């Protein structure tokens, strides 16, 4: 017998035995109610009539049940028109999408502002634009004049250094 078949047969055995137990219990309860049901009911009524506290509790429970039933049975109101209901339902999703889009825009704007600040700091540090020591000019209309590239001149190569032989580490 494989472990898989053992796992499948157990719940079926449990289900069969529980259904058998439930059926036998229902037969016994039905037989008792069939033969002694009226007697049990009249005796219960006599007991509740003799005990006023039990009767009050029973009346209150019945009132609560009657009050609760109409609230549960109420049907939702019929919408005036389908377009209004669709707009109500759609507005929740649209609000969520707009919220996330605005948050993304804020994060992007903050990131771009930080990038711009860092770029300005680097430009000031390297003194790419403007006077030495002054803040860089960031206006888009004042671009520096383009200079012609200087002709390339060949520089003499440095003499390579002699490599020292490595000693083994072991």
Does 89 reside within a domain?
yes
Does 28 reside within a domain?
no
Does 98 reside within a domain?
yes
Does 166 reside within a domain?
no
Q: Which pLDDT score, from 0 to 100, does residue 136 have? A: 52
**pLDDT, averaged across the chain:** 76
Buried-exposed string 114-145: b where 16+ CB fall within 10 A, e elsewhere = eeeeeeeeebeeeeebeeeeeebeeeeeeeee
**Which of the pair, 89 or 1, is modelled with greater confidence?**
89
The total of structural domains in the chain comes to 1
Q: Which pLDDT score, from 0 to 100, does residue 28 have? A: 95
Q: Which pLDDT score, from 0 to 100, does residue 99 have? A: 81
Report the predicted TM-score, pTM, of the whole model to 2 decimal places: 0.25
Identify the domain containing residue 104 by its residue range. Answer: 83-128
By mean pLDDT, which of 23-27, 37-41, 50-54, 141-145 is the weakest? 141-145
Does 111 reside within a domain?
yes
Confidence band, pLDDT 50/70/90 cuts, at residue 4: low
Q: Give the Cα separation of 70 and 49 in Å (integer).
A: 29
Please compute the mean of the pLDDT values over residues 116-120 and round it to a whole number: 90
CB 137 within 8 A of CB 129: yes
Does 161 reside within a domain?
no
Does 104 reside within a domain?
yes
Residue 24 has pLDDT above 90, yes or no: yes
Q: Which pLDDT score, from 0 to 100, does residue 86 have? A: 75
Does 67 reside within a domain?
no
């Amino acid at each position: 017998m494989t472990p898989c078949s053992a796992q499948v047969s157990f719940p079926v055995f449990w289900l069969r035995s529980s259904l058998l137990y439930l059926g036998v219990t229902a037969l016994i309860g039905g037989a008792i109610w069939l033969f002694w049901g009226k007697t049990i009911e009249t005796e219960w009524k006599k007991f509740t009539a003799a005990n006023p506290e039990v009767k009050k509790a029973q009346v209150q429970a019945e009132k609560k049940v009657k009050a609760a039933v109409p609230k549960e049975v109420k049907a939702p109101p019929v919408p005036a028109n389908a377009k209004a209901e669709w707009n109500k339902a759609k507005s929740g999703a649209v609000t969520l999408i707009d919220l996330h889009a605005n948050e993304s825009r804020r994060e992007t704007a903050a990131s771009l502002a930080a990038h711009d600040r860092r770029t300005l700091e680097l430009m000031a540090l390297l003194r790419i634009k403007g006077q030495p020591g002054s803040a860089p000019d960031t206006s888009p209309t004042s671009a520096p004049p383009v200079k012609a590239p200087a002709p390339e001149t060949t520089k003499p190569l440095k003499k390579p250094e002699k490599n020292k032989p490595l000693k083994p580490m072991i």
